[in-house]
Chains A and B, each alone.
Chain A
Amino acid sequence: MSAATTGSKAVFEAAALEATSLAAGGPAATVLKTPAAPLFSRPRPNRPAYMDEGRLLRRGLIAASFLFVFVAIILPLAAVLSRAFGHGWGPFWAAATDLFTVRALKLTLLTTVSAVAANTLFGLAAAWALTRFNFRGQGLLITLIDLPFAVSPVIAGLIFILTFGRLGWLHPLLTAWDVKIVFATPGLVLATIFVTLPFVARELIPVLAARGADEEQAAALMGAGFFRVFFEVTLPHIRWALLYSVILCAARAMGEFGAVSVVSGHLRGKTITLPLHIEILYNEHKITEPFAVAAILVFSSLLILLARNIVETVAKKERYLDVR
């Protein structure tokens, strides 16, 4: 009897401890996370089931999940690969090494790298300014950073046409300077930057806010300049969050279609990225080619997903996730 009582008491105390730690970490973290949280926060380690819904229902739900993921995600991927390699390695290779495909690949790499680099620098600057200083209009600034998420990619392209296009109000300036933006590479880069603008900033703002500025203030008081404080104190703490957001940003930049399609002008070999190249080949009723190009992008996305998972695992090991 007494052994049973102490036993259940220990269990209760453990549960109470867990509850208080949850109360300490939970709501505070949620409050910080919620207004400026990344839209797709990583799941945390889980707890077992407490609701006994029966073995049959449990197995049924698991089976239904497998079936859903199989039909909705595995089958489409398999369809692309089977069409890309259905006639053997030869046609795939011919399509993948075609002159226009290679040019599209190069252009995609160029736009992706430029957009990710620009948005990374911006994300770092915005996160530093927003979490380390108080100034008026911070909420408005966050809203503006979020804005591209609310804008259809097609509209993202449209606004650059209206700005820099032949009828755009900045067009006279561009002709005077002899610069081409719309229907040229700068337009593709700008449209991609717009669409992926929030990714890095949105991931870094809550992480930096949650860390607080004590260490940085100490470093600054000891006389370290901005770059020293930033690279030696701040960056080591946020490198995993940074890497994670860069990966997601790259995935989106590489695959952007709507915005890029509107500003591209579809000049073959000049302003065609890989996703646009797929559309052209598909509309020409080519059998293998569009799927071969799509297969290249499928492999790239799977690699990106793998990189994401590795970063997440390493970050968890280094307890970066606890910081969040």
Chain B
Amino acid sequence: MSRNRRALPGFGLSFGVTMSYVGFIVLIPMFSLTLQAVDVGFGGFWRTVTDPRILASCKVSLQCSLAAALINSVFGTMLAWVLVRYRFPGRRLIDSLVELPFALPTAVAGIALTALTVDKGWIGGPLATLGLRVAYTRLGIVVALVFITLPFVVRAVQPVLEQLPKDYEEAGRLLGAKPGRIFLRVILPEIKLALLTGFSLAFARGLGEYGSVIFIAGNKPYQTETAPLMIVTRLEEFLYGEATALAVALLAVSFIMMFFINRLQIRAAAFAGER
């Protein structure tokens, strides 16, 4: 097989281009980060990540991305369900608009959501009379992250719902189960892996998000300062060591998430193969 495949031309060229490109764009810069991290050492790393202000920023980032990923799991599943199961005028439009957060620059999303949720904004105004403030609070960060990560869950769940064999549902229905029970006991287990994948992708993206968040967060230390913002702040103070230490911590969380997502996708493939 392998010898047979080598019958094709172009291995040297494509392999060479690929390896040098990945080397220059990914490996060398990531190596620099490792170099700097070794320079910082474990003591420096520990001092940085236990600094109260940095710790607070990590907490804000974790809390807000978790909240946003949970909210999107609910609404994303709902949107995927509606888009797959129902035919109604405007379906194509919703299907396209769901993708917009991926196409829209994050800075635009940031100022748009801020303009909407400040005390004089279309949504912020009515909410302010109720005593609820969105812009310049953690709630604002959650709103921005919900917007930015909206497509992940929808696009993860949608294809699985489309390929769901109908016999399971039919069996449930013939056995007399109510729709809610069919959804919880038959459909939810089937889309569980896809939902988890979408959730993890949304969470990981939210953790690193910077562009949209800095506009709506207000960036008050200990309250609405996120971990990515903290990296930028330290960089601007030329504290490269602290910026690197925090980056390493953030990367560790992202890599764990990515590993988890990878395992989920492998399990989902095995799951689909069993059917």
B238 to chain A, nearest CB (A): 8
Instruction: Give the contacts of A60-81 with B (CB-CB under 8 A).
Output: 61-62, 64-66, 68-69, 71-77, 79-80
B108 interfacial by beta-carbon distance below 8 Å: yes
- Interface range for B: 35 or more
Q: Is the CB of A162 within 8 A of B275?
A: no
In residues 209-260 of chain A, which contact B (Cβ within 8 Å)? 213, 216-217, 220-221, 225-226, 229-230, 248, 251-252, 254-258
Q: In chain B, what residue has the closest Cβ to A134?
A: B2
Identity of the chain A residue whose Cβ is nearest the Cβ of B238 in the assembled complex? A167
Instruction: List the B side residues contacting A225 at CB < 8 Å.
Output: 9
Q: B179–A52 contact, CB under 8 A? A: yes
- Whether B103 pairs with A144 at a CB distance below 8 angstroms is no
Nearest B residue to A304 by beta-carbon distance?
B103
The interface size bin for chain A is: 35 or more
- Judge whether B96 and A154 touch: CB under 8 Å: no
Interface string of B8-35 (1 = CB under 8 A from A): 1111011101110110011111101101
**Cross-chain contact B18 with A155 (CB below 8 angstroms):** no
A113 to B183 CA separation, bound complex (whole angstroms): 46
Chain A contacts of B105 at CB under 8 A? 254-257, 274-275, 297, 301
B162 touches A290 (CB 8 A): no
- Give every chain B residue within 8 A of A153 (Cβ-Cβ): 208, 210-211, 228
Within 8 A of A (CB), among B159-180: 159, 162-163, 165-167, 169-170, 173, 179
Q: Check if B32 sits within 8 Å of A169, measured CB to CB.
A: yes
Say yes or no: A43 contacts B84, CB within 8 Å. Answer: yes
A97 to B102 CA separation, bound complex (whole angstroms): 27
**Cβ-based interface call for B196 (8 A):** no
Interface residues of B in 223-256 (CB under 8 A from A): 228-229, 231-232, 235, 240, 243-244, 247, 250-251, 254-255
Q: What residues of A have a CB within 8 angstroms of the CB of B150 in the complex?
A: 72-73
> Which chain B residues lie closer than 8 Å to A258 at the CB level?
106, 208-211, 228
Query: What residues of chain A lie closer than 8 Å to B218, measured between beta carbons?
Result: none
Docked CA distance A126–B209 (Å): 28
Given contacts A144-B27, A301-B103, whether A150 and B255 have CB atoms under 8 Å apart is: yes
Q: Bound complex: CA of A282 vs CA of B83, how far in Å?
A: 37
Question: With A52-B179, A57-B179, A221-B7 known to touch, is A248 a contact of B163 (CB < 8 Å)?
Answer: no
Residue among B107, B109, B163 with most chain A CB within 10 A = B107
B99:A305 contact, CB within 8 angstroms: yes
The reply to whether B103 and A305 contact each other, CB–CB distance below 8 Å, is yes
> Is residue B155 within 8 Å, beta carbon to beta carbon, of the partner chain?
yes
Given contacts A30-B269, A51-B182, A220-B8, contact A251 B115 (CB under 8 A): no
Chain A, range 185-204, C-beta contacts under 8 Å to B:
190, 193-194, 197
Given the known A-B contacts A257-B211, A258-B228, A275-B211, are A308 and B99 also in contact in the complex, defined by CB atoms under 8 Å?
yes
The reply on B140 being an interface residue by CB < 8 A is: no
CB pair B30 A147 closer than 8 Å: yes
Known: A53-B179, A213-B5. A76 touches B250 (CB 8 A): no
Chain B residue with Cβ nearest A44 = B162
Is B79 part of the contact surface with A, judged by Cβ < 8 Å?
Answer: yes
Given contacts A46-B84, A122-B17, A257-B211, contact A83 B115 (CB under 8 A): yes
B272 in contact (CB, < 8 A) = yes
Q: B36 at the A/B interface (Cβ < 8 Å)?
A: yes
- Which B residues are CB-close (under 8 A) to A190? 25
Interface residues of B (CB under 8 A from A): 1-2, 4-11, 13-15, 17-19, 21-22, 25-30, 32-33, 35-36, 75, 78-79, 81-88, 90, 94-109, 111-113, 115-116, 121-123, 146-147, 150-151, 155, 158-159, 162-163, 165-167, 169-170, 173, 179, 182-183, 187, 201, 204, 207-211, 214-215, 228-229, 231-232, 235, 240, 243-244, 247, 250-251, 254-255, 257-258, 262, 265-266, 268-269, 272-273, 275
Closest 10 CB pairs of A and B: A152-B208, A255-B105, A257-B211, A226-B10, A159-B29, A258-B210, A76-B112, A34-B269, A226-B9, A53-B179
A and B contact pairs by CB, cutoff 8 A, 8 listed: A46-B84, A72-B147, A133-B8, A152-B231, A155-B250, A255-B105, A258-B210, A282-B215
Inter-chain pairs besides A158-B235, A194-B29, 17 sampled, C-beta below 8 Å: A34-B269, A46-B85, A51-B183, A75-B122, A122-B17, A124-B14, A129-B14, A132-B5, A141-B18, A158-B244, A197-B25, A217-B7, A217-B8, A262-B232, A278-B108, A282-B215, A297-B107
